[in-house]
Structure 1
Amino acid sequence: MNKCTKVILSLTSVIILIFAASCSKNQSARDDGKALHGNIEVVTDTEHGPQLKLAADKFNEIHKKSKVDVIVVKDTDNNVRSILDNYRYHSDILTVSDSCMKHVLSAYSDKILKMTNSVNSYKNNLLGDKVSNDTMKGSLYALPWDTYPKAIVYRKDIFYQEGVDVNNIKTWSDYIEVGRKIKKNTGGTFMGNVSDCNDNIFLLLANQLGTSYFNESGKLGFKSQKWARVMELAKIFYGEDLIKDFDSKSALIDGLNENKVLSFIADPTYIKLLMNTYPKDNYKWSIMKLPAFEPGGNRDASLGGTNLVINKNTKQANLAQAFINFALTDNKLQLDLLNQYGRFPVYTTAYNFVDFNKRISYFNDRVWDLFARVEEGSFGINYTKNFPQIRDKISKVLTGINIKNQNLKNIEENIEIHL
């Protein structure tokens, strides 16, 4: 057999193997489509309803004999027991926020289906801190759905008019000096913030310093030096009226009109809302990382997220798991969810997609790449089973009005009283 014949036979063998693998893969997809049949329902909140509806529609297109429906309710976190018991809604899957996950596991783990062995093929590609939050006693009870890395969106036109070079803003002190100047010269609100669970300015700053309400040992950490720094910074912002709290994301975005708000703390969902609300204002806005507490310090922070839980009462466990696997790992879906809703993926493989790293013309910047780097550089938050209860008590004390009008010692004493 001559050399040419050997080469031809080798190439033929490779082609046959590729074709066989392709056929096997396609056959597997067809077999999965046949195997997956029945109906399941996902119960979620208003924020995540459209996102999961898109995922369900894409899944239903592939698996013709199955159907995933999405039920949107006002609140899932405070109704987990009734949802798991199918008291008001039939649920095969429900969503639970990061901050409530440990509490839910401690109270209702016997009503939740374990997923430990069903996600081994991609578990290591999910954000580790999120997976840890879904784990109890070595068993995985949920999977993370999204995450909320934080950055600052600012009026680049006004910053330019005021002679501000954002490359010189390295620390919060630098940012405050810029804020004092711009506030004095324009009369606008320098920084906007939404005062909800995912945008709590105090917890956000604490996360930047690597702490939260609870330290790594699970003990309350308000008497720490890190929290003292958080309070001192907040005192400046609120005391000098450099920051304004809004009740909702939409209220903040509406406040951007007529130069009323000149910068704001944002996660990826704000980016899409901004572009959709003011499509012609692309010349106005730019984005940068959070300033650090000290030169060379951490500029990354991430706060918030929700998780997918399978109801142990489901009669369609395989279908529920298949949908979750698809929703978290389908490459095209990750980009569709990001570009349509600003839903930031927990599947870190997506951070390396070519389209993920393209410039967004509205900002003329690689915005999604910036958020990916922020997410990867952020500290995890130590949520505990008591976190929701502590958060609700603390939120009554740590308010902008209290920070502005009371001294920090009184606020710390009030925190201790409420706890």
Structure 2
Amino acid sequence: MIKSRRILKLINCFILIVILTSCSNMNTSSSKSKKLTGKLTILTDKRYEPILKLAANNFEKENKKVNIEIKTDDNLYNDLESNIKAKDKSIDIVSVEDPYIKYYISKYMNSFLNVSSDISYYSSNIIKHQLNNVTIKNKVYGFPWSTSPRVIIYRKDIFKRENINVDDIKTWDDYIVLGQKVTYDTGKQFLTNVKDIDNNMYLVFANQLGTSYFNSDDKLDLDSSISIKAADMLKKLYSENILFDLKSRKESVQSILNGNSVSMIADSQYISYIERNFPGYKGKLGIMKLPAFEPGGNRDVSVGGSNLLINNLGKNVDLAKEFCKFCISDDHTIIDSMKNYGYFPVFFRDYNLVEFNKNDSYFNQNIWQILGRTEKGSFPINYTQNFINIRQECSEALSSDNLKDKQAKDILDSLKKSLEEGKTIENR
């Protein structure tokens, strides 16, 4: 009798282990329980090509009868619009970045698959504002895939020589005072940022304060007190010769590694790129959150990201859905993409993984944990249908030369007036 009870207990334990194991391995992987076959063609730009190739290779290993082709397009968004108008069926999935997402799914809603029921299983583990980006009228038209929290990478060795303790840096005003001292002592540029459409410092500051070009009602927010506060800080950083614009990521990285600059605005792709390509700088660099506007204020910023949209006319819609689910939630693929290519996930369940929270020996910090907390603490950006129409004009109007010569409020007032008169921001 006792022996029978022991056997019964062992059987129950075994069943429990099987259940727990199956739950813990439940990625998307309906693909693991289905025999998937067919070919997928994915359209993207070069920035996301290696990340998608990694995901495709992992997916093909699990699904031997699936073949995935990655196509890159340097003129992705113009060509995508042409493909949609031509009702092109050859592309199954396309990656679309956040600034463009509402334009495409608003204007060409019927061209992209409604995946509301498919993503519902994962939605509780996806950053909410990233899910909102692909949602119109309570319907979801894509899989949020990546996001882009922002931090500062700085030279630990130079900070140490200058007796700077990063824990003492609370506000941007603190950073300006330290920057003036370091520049005086060393002649180095204190803070750099890449001056391109994806790294606009005004948008970084606006996001830090809880707004963007548009408010939650889809109206231009350029004349609000918060927007003026963001532009005033940008003017201050330029005027005090603390912030310098560089032309490319490569130039920004080379500048800090060569010691020409001391710190730079960065995302996860910078971190991965530096670790892979410059092992000799191990221990010389550190990561910190952006300073706040006031003591105790918000230090979390996230600007940008990418999404996977499925062609409604594609021949392999079901296979495309399984691949998208795999991309956003497969643990191994996510961790490998982070470490190798600086991909940062929207699937925050993975922020609890052991690998995600390990100390990074290169920086001697829990860098992914810092980025995860930054992402979860950041405000949403309202990527309206008209977002792409005005960001270039905002970037040009709020250039360093303009801000040094004029008052930030005057620039923003003039910019809003010209945009409204030109109907650039017409609400469609």
Alignment match, 2:424: none
Alignment match, 1:12: 11
Is residue 290–residue 299 contact of structure 1 (8 Å, CA) maintained in 2?
Answer: yes
Structure 1 residue 92: Cα displacement: 0.4
**C-alpha distance in 1 between matches for 2:338 and 2:330:** 13
- Residues 209-220 of structure 1 aligned to structure 2 (within 5 Å): 209-220=209-220
TM norm structure 2: 0.92
- Residue 152 of structure 2 aligns to a residue in which SS? strand
Alignment match, 1:416: 416
Q: Map Cα deviations across residues 239-267 of structure 1 (whole Å, 9 max, x no partner).
A: 12211112221221122243111100111
Q: Map Cα deviations across residues 33-54 of structure 1 (whole Å, 9 max, x no partner).
A: 7631110111001110110011
One-letter amino acid matched to 2:5 = K
Q: Which ranges in structure 2 are unaligned for 5 or more consecutive residues?
A: 420-428
**C-alpha distance in 1 between matches for 2:20 and 2:247:** 54
Structure 1 residue 80: Cα displacement: 2.5
- Classify 1:87/1:257 alpha carbon distance in 2 versus 1 (closer, same or farther; 3 Å): farther
Alignment match, 1:405: 405
Alignment match, 2:200: 200
Alignment match, 1:187: 187
Is residue 55–residue 333 contact of structure 1 (8 Å, CA) maintained in 2?
Answer: yes
One-letter amino acid matched to 2:181 = K
- Classify 1:354/1:257 alpha carbon distance in 2 versus 1 (closer, same or farther; 3 Å): closer
Alignment match, 2:311: 311
- Residue 193 of structure 1 aligns to a residue in which SS? strand
1:222 is the counterpart of 2:230: no
In terms of mean alpha carbon deviation, does 298-307 or 70-79 score higher? 70-79
**C-alpha distance in 1 between matches for 2:222 and 2:409:** 12
- Classify 1:19/1:272 alpha carbon distance in 2 versus 1 (closer, same or farther; 3 Å): closer
Structure 1 residue 276: Cα displacement: 2.5
Is residue 80–residue 104 contact of structure 1 (8 Å, CA) maintained in 2?
Answer: no
Q: Map Cα deviations across residues 85-113 of structure 1 (whole Å, 9 max, x no partner).
A: 56789310001111111111111001111
- Residues 182-331 of structure 1 aligned to structure 2 (within 5 Å): 182-331=182-331
Aligned residue pairs total: 417
- Residue 287 of structure 1 aligns to a residue in which SS? strand
**C-alpha distance in 2 between matches for 1:194 and 1:284:** 21
Instruction: Provide the alpha-carbon RMSD of the alignment.
Output: 2.4
Alignment match, 1:3: 2
Is residue 142–residue 307 contact of structure 1 (8 Å, CA) maintained in 2?
Answer: yes
- Classify 1:217/1:19 alpha carbon distance in 2 versus 1 (closer, same or farther; 3 Å): closer
Alignment match, 1:364: 364
**C-alpha distance in 2 between matches for 1:114 and 1:391:** 28
Q: Map Cα deviations across residues 318-348 of structure 1 (whole Å, 9 max, x no partner).
A: 1100101111111111100000011001111
Q: Which ranges in structure 1 are unaligned for 5 or more consecutive residues?
A: none
- Residue 210 of structure 2 aligns to a residue in which SS? coil
Structure 1 residue 405: Cα displacement: 2.6
**C-alpha distance in 2 between matches for 1:240 and 1:112:** 48
**C-alpha distance in 1 between matches for 2:375 and 2:257:** 29
Alignment match, 1:394: 394
1:383 is the counterpart of 2:383: yes
Is residue 223–residue 409 contact of structure 2 (8 Å, CA) maintained in 1?
Answer: no
Alignment match, 1:146: 146
In terms of mean alpha carbon deviation, does 406-415 or 276-285 score higher? 406-415
One-letter amino acid matched to 2:215 = N
- Residue 370 of structure 1 aligns to a residue in which SS? helix
**C-alpha distance in 2 between matches for 1:40 and 1:92:** 6
TM norm structure 1: 0.94
Is residue 334–residue 345 contact of structure 2 (8 Å, CA) maintained in 1?
Answer: yes
One-letter amino acid matched to 1:11 = L
